[in-house]
Structure 1
Amino acid sequence: MNDPLATLDEAYARLRQAWAGADADDCAPVAGLGDRLIEVNRALGAVRRAADGLHSAVAAEIARESRPELGPEGLARKQGFRNPTTLIATTLGTTPGEAVQLVKVGEATAPRTTLTGEAAPPKHPHVATGTTSGAISTRAAGMIITMLDRAALRADRTALEDAERILVEQAENLSLDHLSKLIARAEAHLDPDGLEPRERDARGERSLRVYQRGGMIHVTGQFDAADGAIVKTAIEAVVTADFRRANAGGGAPAGEHPGSGRDEDLRSLPQRQADAMTQLARHLLGCEHNDQPIAGATVVVRMTLEDLENGTGHALIDGIDQPVSISAARRLAAGGRVIPCVFDAHGEILDWGREKRLFTKAQRLALVERDGGCAKCGAPPGLTRAHHIRWWTKHAGPTDLSNGVLLCESCHHHIHDNGWEIRIDGGTIAGTVWFIPPRHVDPGRRPRLGGRRRFDYLAA
């Protein structure tokens, strides 16, 4: 039988090793860690995941020992608590919601006993392995379990088991935000028929309120994924152009009344987004300015030819985490400035839609298809530029897809200033992007997966 404390002991030993020899004093021990901070941070993450994994098992057992049929003899009641959730939340100093999450993960990953008394594996064995080994956090485990239980009503059992394994493998080293994107795509794969009902519900909840209060006009709203993609793309395009103009030392945004006296560099992102909405409305109302603040902005909807012809499966919209149904994709593709990107069974692009594009625009669309946005951090395509992997001037790098990568400005500078390398494996569009860290980040220089494949379900 495995020692339940072994993973925690190993993680703690790693933390001790990372901390050892630090030039720290009693008043500010962390300040003396210097270059060891990164390894200490990694070790602390391992300790936290290992402790949470063990705690989920303990929480589930507390809940079992406090089940209602035990009455006053239940563990929580004996300790003076109404229920196990309150006991766990109080002793941890956390919320009841987090306590429920611990119990849920613990119950789903604990070994079971059949009605005949035989031992059975956990309900979610791959998640159990991930939490026990400290590879994934209990919050990540809870997100995966919630989706799998929801999809279990429709999906095939084998498909569910494969999805659980793939999600646990890909969850390691992903933030919870990126994992939620991956889980949404996994659910669309498992239950494509469930997309349209959810879209109908979301569309029924769409709203936009405009009202006056305190001398200000307030606008609050929510949109379904398909319509929201159009709104999001338009606003992001104006804001991106605004940032670039400010960085280049340009004047006031197009369509703004001269002499407004606004300092371009002091506006926050929410303020720029508000200005973008105003600018779009001003153009729509037919003001005297005839420039186009979102020239070149497009919405790309991605789907396979089989799904398009059969009306099955799902489609993805660049910049939107939530997959949409094929019927929603068809409706979007019927509008202007929306490009349907259709693939064959091997991932090769069959059609870029109706709009003609210059070669440089086609290259960028192809890079967006491969990289999904910033190939390193996942920022939306509108916030990226196409960069040469081998520099145009320094290395005589060609301007072609095999030598191009989409990066936001921050990642571009980070890569070039800190000694990272980029490698493209496979075809130019269906290829895989790898980022190779410098030795001071990883002595082994182990390649890290980048681009769209890092977040796409079934990428492994």
Structure 2
Amino acid sequence: MTLLVSDPDVDQPDEVDPIRFVETMAEKLLETVPVATAGRLNDERALRFAAAAEKLGRYADALRVTVATDIGDRCRPELMEKRLSTTKGCRNEVELLERVTLVSGSTLRRRLRIGKNFRGDRSLTGQPLPPAFPIVADAVAAGTLGVDSADAIITVLTPSIPHVDLENMGRAELELVAAATGTGPGAPIPVSADLTRVQAGIWMQHLDQDGAKPREKQAMQHRGFRFGRERDGLVPVSGMLMPEIAAKAIRVMDAYLSPRTAPVAFIDEETAARGDNYDRSDTRTADQKRHDIFAVIVATAAGAAETPTIAGDAPTVLVSVRQEDLEANTGVGHIDGLELPISIATVQQMICDGGLQKVVLKKNGKIVELGTKERTFNRAQRRAIMLRDGGCIIPGCDIPAAWTEIHHVKPDRDGGPTHTSNGVCLCWFHHRTIDTSGWEIRMIDGSPQVKAPPWIDRTRRWRPATKSPTRLTDALEQTHNA
């Protein structure tokens, strides 16, 4: 795959200057085919236009990959002070290309990685070596294979190169390119880049049947899960999961999010719109629901009997806050081990479920008073409340009682007692948003009632709230007898 670059300082009357040609064609394209062209076409022509635009894009991508790879070769370390990046005052080829093209470093690194497989490495003596994927390179150069499909083939097959003979690797490459471009026997319909990746994986398993064990051994070394530094009010997480662990996690998420099996609090808005028994104030995205599912899983694990204790107690998050800030309902709190402060509203919500222990310090930091844990429902109270409510009391939310938190209906700061007649079950999401969602809760003779936001129930009536099958049976019998 080559690119002819004309030097403007050299007289070349018989050759077309490729730089000027591309610049001229780009100008003519913008003048002749404005970006909004598709909006003026009928359905069929719009689809044909999309295919034509993609074909043009494939060739443009081929040019981008090729020229980036060529410049990268001129910046290779062995050239020392003659490296093109060095002569232009840049650290490396990526910085040089960033300045010239104005695209992101990640995009340029991807082009360089793909192009390296088209161009091939150099030997220890500096001689160019044959490319690893010449068939892919030719298809990209011809504009028939997109960069996404090329990247899929290269990424999946590369790990098997040391274990597979060149003839079989070439056959796999040929078949995959034929399938991706629709040029195989019988001229089949071209497949997408995603399906090309799947097919490449099947070829890899066929060619390198013993490769799974070494890959798994390597994966075991690279597996991990980590928490990053807080930023913008959030703690980023990252890591690499073993395939079987990722599969289990995905299936758990699917179970929560599937319309057939999910608790109503986690079903998608479109599905919920087809029924009446759901919380219309729940506008969470799928990613936000996955976060809240993770919160449920962590809370459930923390309270499980099998979970290891810390100093004899279940894993507990410690939050510190100044008493004057807590009393004034202003300021911030601090979670032990995290740098980012949290709002006083979040502190109040965590106290509501987890309780409070007063610690009095002198100015020099000496502890002069250590109170007992307050404002926390004990195990017996929690079991009684969960039995009475049967789950999160917000109508339409089917989060079971074992996965809920206990909420003080009347806050402790307003004189509300830590008593079964003042506690109700709320899931993490509804507990976190109870002060802003519009839902209201009150206790009548020790039994909870809820009032929906006006956009859900215009009558604004108070309704008894329970998911307990025993209490529901009692209510049904009372209605029948009346």
For Structure 1 versus Structure 2, the TM-score category normalised by the shorter chain is 0.3 to 0.5
- Structure number with greater CO (CA < 8 Å, separation at least 6) is 1
Q: TM-score, normalised by structure 1?
A: 0.45
- Please tell me whether Structure 1 or Structure 2 has the larger radius of gyration of its CA atoms: 2
Q: TM-score, normalised by structure 2?
A: 0.43
